[in-house]
Structure formats: C-alpha cells, structure tokens
Amino acid sequence: MVHVGMPAPDFEALDDQGRPFRLSQLRGRWVVLYFYPKDNTPGCTREACAFRDTSGSFAQYGAVIVGISPDSVRSHQRFKQRHGLPFLLVSDPNGHIAQLYGVWQERQLYGRRFLGVVRSTFVIDPEGIVRAVFPHVRVEGHAEEVLQHLKTLQA
C-alpha cells in the first residue's frame, strides 16, 4: 500500500469521456483520489454521491476529486450521468492502478474469495506527495472525514 510521505504513483488511463488521463496532469493542485469497487452498487453510489454533495467544499480548498474503479468508460459515463457526478472517473479495467496503490487485494463476498478493489482514499498534495491514506473505507461520513483532514493539512 502507498504510505503517507511517498510520491503518489503516476499512471495513465482513460477517463469517463474516453480521453487519456495522467495523474501528473493535476500537479499544482490537491487531489482526492478514491478507489471504489463498482459503479451503481449501493455502497459505491452512496460514496460517490457524498463526494458529489461535498465537491463544492473540496473545490474551495483547491482539491480535485478523482474516482477510480475497474468499470469501463461507458459504465462510468452512465454512472456519472445518472447521479450528476461533477468529478472525473477513471477506468482501471485490469486493476493496474489499484495494484500500484496497493488496493487490489483479496476480498470476500457472500463466502466467495476474489481479487478486487478495497475501498480506499488518498489525499495528494500539489507536489504529488501522499499526505493522507484512508484504507478499508466505511462509506458513511467518509467524504466529510476526508474534507476535514484536507482542511487540517492546509491549516
């Protein structure tokens, strides 16, 4: 897993419009990079909507929100449109980005074991250094917790 104080691993992948996106494009800005398992599932939808509802506050602190999941560009487009998400979603269909960040791990659901994304969030400073890590996220209150932490980091 990526730790606080480490440079955030750069990556290139397609965004929700099918355009190439590199994390390094956001240098000079705070980034809230959140990994989630799947579009349009109950927990992932609640998390995305919480980030949507607080996105104005994040913007006031100069932060850009970027969501990443293994879903396709088309799935991201539908998810974003359906829920009015104002931030970028990045497609990671093979889990390569999740592996870079250490969040592609063995999971268990209904007694079945499989490899997948463990819900996690990283706060990255304008120089590209990881300043906060939230592993194994519980959805309720998470967006507000990240926002409060961002405020503390900038104080």
Write the burial class of residue 54 (CB in 10 Å: 0-12 exposed, 13-18 middle, 19+ buried). middle
Token duo for residue 33: 């990079």
41 DSSP assignment: S
60, 69, 85, 5: which is closest to 33 by C-alpha?
A: 69
* Calpha distance 8→101 (Å, rounded): 8
Catalytic residues: 44
Token duo for residue 23: 């994390």
